[in-house]
Structure 1
Amino acid sequence: MATESQPVDKAVIEEFKRRSGGDVFQPEDGTEYDEARVIYNAMIDRHPQLIARCDTVDDVIRAVEFARENEMEVAIRSGGHNGAGLALVDDGLVIDLSNMTDISVDAEERTARVEPGCTWGDVDGATHEDGLATVSGVISTTGVAGLTLGGGHGYLTRKYGLTIDNLLGADVVLADGRLVHASEDEHSDLFWALRGGGGNFGVVTAFEFELHPVDTVVAGPTFWPIDELEDTMRWYREWLPNAPEDVYAFYLIAEVPGEPFPEEIHGEKVCGLMWCYLGDPDDIDGVLRPAHDVAEPLFEHVGEMPYPALQSMFDDLYPPGDQWYWKGDFVHDLTDEAIDEHRRFADVPTPQSGMHLYPVNGAAHRPEPDETAWSNRDATWSMVIFGVDGDPAKKDEITEWARGYWEATHPHSMGGAYVNFMMEEGTDRIQATYGDNYERLREIKERYDPENIFHVNQNIEPLAEE
């Protein structure tokens, strides 16, 4: 496969457009094309040669075959949330799945079949009608496909594992245009790789998820003054790993934005916790008490709410169209030296910037490291440092802050990171992320995509490529 796309003859493009069931956009389409190439991170500005918005699986197959036959680089877009902008590629073909949004829920079997253009808000809306949910992230506008293929973690992880631990099967269009079903019983090697290996192995056109009884949760934030960071983070590192699995709380460093928070704390630098409690609501005071004992909260608002309300709580703070730069790491222990670095960088540059430590222990620790492509089953947290602002003039400021923060804390990490929290960082970082599973992933890549057609991602090169 060529590493750069070749110009495609106009007549060939017109034939492709004629045969496509969905829309196909080119630069000469003006506004429609420009709107089609917009993704969540406004820091990314790429210009594909073609954007094929697929309506059906047949459209996806045609697009994959067209790219292969015409030596075009291929990017796959579903929700478009990828921070590194890997949903787009300059001069190549974007296979846009955003129109493929069917969801079917089997409440009796507690399963859902979800197409790749869905967001997690779509899924939550469909499953909540039956008091069910599966593991996803913390922003409901995030796409199902990208989050799942990277591994997926969120409010339900300590109780129900990673998103991939709840994946039952997937329909996949391979590099040669074949449609296959991957599960424990069919193409089990591919199914293993899909669970954390990203978009390296094909275009997933449907996901099958296990659902769990999740309806109303007790959730919300606790903020402490930033001067309490050292004491609260030291307490958190001891408390969280031993908390019951019904208790989820990610640690955060932030600046309090405007509404809906009280005016008197707007602009305050804070550290804190974001809670999700799945147990008896009457027990919440006992759950919160240890956090109150370590330091007096500056603000707290924790109460009962429908699970989809928790899932969408950050949506307004992080709308599409902001500038984003983020870096991640897996963390096993929060050392005193690491906590010192967190305190040093706690003066976040904008109200949307910050640091989160997402727990990935509890149920996520039960599978063996080689049971799925996600090998970091001994990580306690998945850390993300993110610089965010709507003003393009602040791009350099938020990027430099996030990079500096990451460089200071990275030596205290496990070396790899959640692939969905990585920018384009190179093969060494990818190899560190997958550890002992990396060579097996390369073997499976060689089996299903030997020409590395699907390489616009956190790429795992086929074994034959050196």
Structure 2
Amino acid sequence: MNITTSPADMATALAKSFAGQILRSGDPHYDEARRVHNGLIDKRPALIARCLGVADVIDALALARERRLEIAVRGGGHNVAGRATTEGGMLIDLSLMKGVYVDPNRRTARAQGGATWREFNRETQLHGLATTGGVVSSTGVAGLTLGGGLGWLMGKHALALDNLLSAEVVLADGRVVTASSEQNADLFWALRGGGGNFGVVTSFEYRLHPVGPLVTGGLIAWPFAAAWDVLRHFRDVTANLPDEFTVFGGLVHAPDGSGEKLAVMVMCHCGPLAAGEMAAERVKGFGTPAVDAVGAMPYCDLNAMLDGAYPRGALNYWKSSFLGGLDDDAIRTMIDCFGRCPTPMGQLLLEHFHGAVTRVGVADTAFPHRAEGYNMLVLSEWTEPRQTEACTAWARDSFAALRPYMGAGRYVNYIDADERDDVIAAAYGPNYARLQRIKAKYDPANLFRLNQNILPTA
């Protein structure tokens, strides 16, 4: 029996105690609030509950359970696959919950679920502290951490989830619990890589590390004609890196909108500036760069240097997989695929794993990808809806062409909404069965299913 009533009735019921904003279709700010970062996603929730605190989350969740509404949970960032919204259900929106509280003596920080890494870094860098937090500062703290947490500091300080000390979670039944190594340890294990499957995480406590305020980093680019040599050099450089030095590579378009294709390396050295300068010379001295923007800069600036390439409202379709290796044939295929890219915002990126991130055990957290190597991302991005068919086809075709060079692993934060359930299971590898059991314990009815969904099992 469907007992859902009208949005107006539900809004009235929730408003009796709710401190935040309750929006439904026709309200002045509804259309702006329902939009997500990816302009390809266009859904209309019955209600948007813009929470100001944990009590709001509990009330919104209770109403959704009572009225049998599909539940989506949105943090503060991208969610490119569009899983952070719903058609006709309840959107529990944490984006107004942006508090970040730093304890410089303990070197910890607690961030609410709607914070972005820009907001997080701004507070922690006041004390010369940071933790691994994405490569784009507009990324949300919540989604990045729950699914993994690649970032510029991961060679030295591992992933965002590896620095998580505790989390406050609203469970499917409305209870509020703390997950840590001492409390609800099974839930804490699952949250570190298992995404939003287990509850609404309203705050995250992180371990911080001395970083900056200046680091060595930036972008260096060569003409596309040099891509073969540049990507082979990237492979050589990443074969032997100090932990402090993270280097990503790939094929991109010039940011001026000209459509000019470039081969690039983007880097961050979070150690002493003199050591960073020496490490960067191995990259800067190669060939004849068209652009060299590598040098000393504030860590906050480095974390935001790529933001302009991912504007809110652009249309996005991504495909991603870990590579089994970066051999010459894989490089040739990347160059061939990128030569056919139909959008001046498209990219083929290689995110390199090494150092501390690879020294964590496969079963120590839910995130199993701990081998040194490369995550390959086919990133199709465009602004004109008439380009949608061509741009999505390019991403799919490029991904298919690169399939022979892929390993078994997939990074769940990059899995698109059109992937099969078995892809999600494969992304967790040997950890999936344990995740299913924990899901059955904390969310047996699969209330939280608008995510890279883990199916509960006994």
| Class of the TM-score when normalised by the shorter of the 2 chains | over 0.9
Correspondence list, 1:129-148, <5 A = 129-148=126-145
Instruction: Tell me how far 1:284 sits from its aligned partner.
Output: 4.4
Which string of whole-angstrom CA distances, capped at 9 and with x for unpartnered residues, describes residues 146-181 of structure 1?
A: 111011111101111010010000000000000000
Are the counterparts in 1 of residues 250 and 347 from structure 2 also a CA contact under 8 Å?
yes
2:211 maps to 214
Identify the range of structure 1 (335-344 vs 113-122) with the bigger mean alpha-carbon deviation: 335-344
**What is the CA-CA distance between 1:409 and the residue it aligns to?**
1.1
Are residue 459 (structure 1) and residue 453 (structure 2) matched? Answer: yes
Does residue 404 (structure 1) correspond to residue 397 (structure 2)? The answer is yes
What is the distance in 2 between the residues matched to 1:381 and 1:159?
17
What residue number does 1:155 align with? 152
Deviation, structure 1 residue 426: 1.9
The reply to whether residue 41 of structure 1 matches residue 56 of structure 2 is no
Instruction: State the number of aligned residues.
Output: 454
2:179 pairs with 1:182? yes
Distance 1:339 1:252 in 2: 10
Match of 1:249 in 2: 247
The within-5 A match list for 1:350-389 is 350-389=343-382
2:277, 2:223 → 1: CA distance? 21
Aligned mates of 2:102, 2:399 — CA distance in 1: 40
Q: In the alignment, does 2:311 pair up with 1:322?
A: no
User: What is the aligned counterpart of 1:258 among 256, 259, 281?
Assistant: 256
Opposite residue 292 of structure 2, the aligned amino acid is E
CA contact (8 A) 1:416 1:430 kept: no
The CA deviation at 1:293 is 5.6
Match of 2:82 among 76, 82, 85: 85
Query: Does the residue aligned with 1:429 lie in a helix, a strand or coil?
Result: helix
2:277 and 2:295 in contact (8 A); partners too: no
1:297 pairs with 2:289? yes
Q: CA deviation at 1:345?
A: 1.1
1:65 aligns with 2:62: yes
Tell me the amino acid that sits aligned with residue 384 of structure 1: L
Shift of 1:453: 0.0
Partners of 1:392 and 1:55 in 2: CA distance: 35
- Deviation per CA, 1:106-128, whole angstroms, max 9, x where unpaired? 01111000001111100010001
1:218/1:305 contact within 8 Å kept: yes
Q: Where in structure 2 are the equivalents of 1:111-122 lying within 5 Å? A: 111-122=108-119
Gaps in structure 2 of 5+ consecutive residues: none
Question: In structure 2, how many angstroms separate the alpha carbons of the residues matched to 1:6 and 1:304?
Answer: 60
Work out the CA distance in 2 between the residues paired with 1:57 and 1:431. Answer: 31
Q: Quote the residue 2:336 is aligned against.
A: 344
Moved more, 58-67 or 378-387: 378-387
The corresponding residue for 2:93 is: 96
The correspondence for 2:53, drawn from 53, 56, 65, is: 56
Work out which of the residue numbers 289, 298, 322 in structure 2 matches 1:306. Answer: 298
Instruction: Evaluate the alpha carbon distance shift between residue 357 and residue 94 of structure 1 in structure 2; reply closer, same or farther with a 3 A threshold.
Output: same
CA contact (8 A) 2:216 2:277 kept: no
**Cα distance, 1:362 vs structure 2:** 1.0
Structure 1 range deviating more: 223-232 or 282-291: 282-291
Q: Which runs of 5+ in 1 are unaligned?
A: 260-265
Alpha-carbon contact 1:200-1:459 (below 8 Å) kept:
yes
Query: Could you say which residue in structure 1 is the equivalent of 2:421?
Result: 427
Aligned to 1:439: 433
When residues 399 and 6 of structure 1 are mapped into structure 2, their CA distance, relative to the original with a 3 A threshold, is farther
| In 1, Cα distance between equivalents of 2:190 and 2:406 | 24
What corresponds to 1:263 in structure 2?
A: none
Q: Is the 8 A contact 1:416 1:429 kept in 2?
A: no
Deviations 1:298-330, CA, capped at 9 Å, x for gaps: 321211110000111122232211111111112
State whether residues 332 and 379 of structure 1, in contact with CA within 8 Å, keep that contact through their aligned partners in structure 2.
Answer: no
- Three-state SS of the structure 2 residue aligned to 1:76 is strand
After TM superposition, the score normalised by the length of structure 1 is: 0.94
RMSD: 1.7
Partner of 1:223: 221
TM-score, with normalisation over the residues of structure 2?
Answer: 0.95
1:385 positional shift = 1.2
Of residues 433-442 and 283-292 in structure 1, the stretch that sits farther from structure 2 once superposed is 283-292
CA distance, structure 1, for counterparts of residue 247 and residue 3 of structure 2: 49
Q: Letter of the aligned partner of 1:177 in structure 2?
A: G
Amino acid aligned to 1:439: A
Distance 1:160 1:62 in 2: 37
C-alpha spacing 1:11/1:346, structure 2 compared with 1 (3 Å): closer
Which of these residues, 154, 168, 173, is aligned with residue 171 of structure 1? 168
Corresponding position of 2:323: 331
SS of structure 1 residue aligned to 2:57: helix
Structure 2 counterpart of 1:262: none
- Say whether residues 1:14 and 2:16 are aligned partners: no
Q: Which moved more, 1:326-335 or 1:233-242?
A: 233-242
Quote the offset at 1:80 in angstroms: 4.2
Task: Measure the CA separation in 2 of the matches of 1:28 and 1:299.
Answer: 48
Shift of 1:227: 2.5
The equivalent of 1:448 in structure 2 is: 442
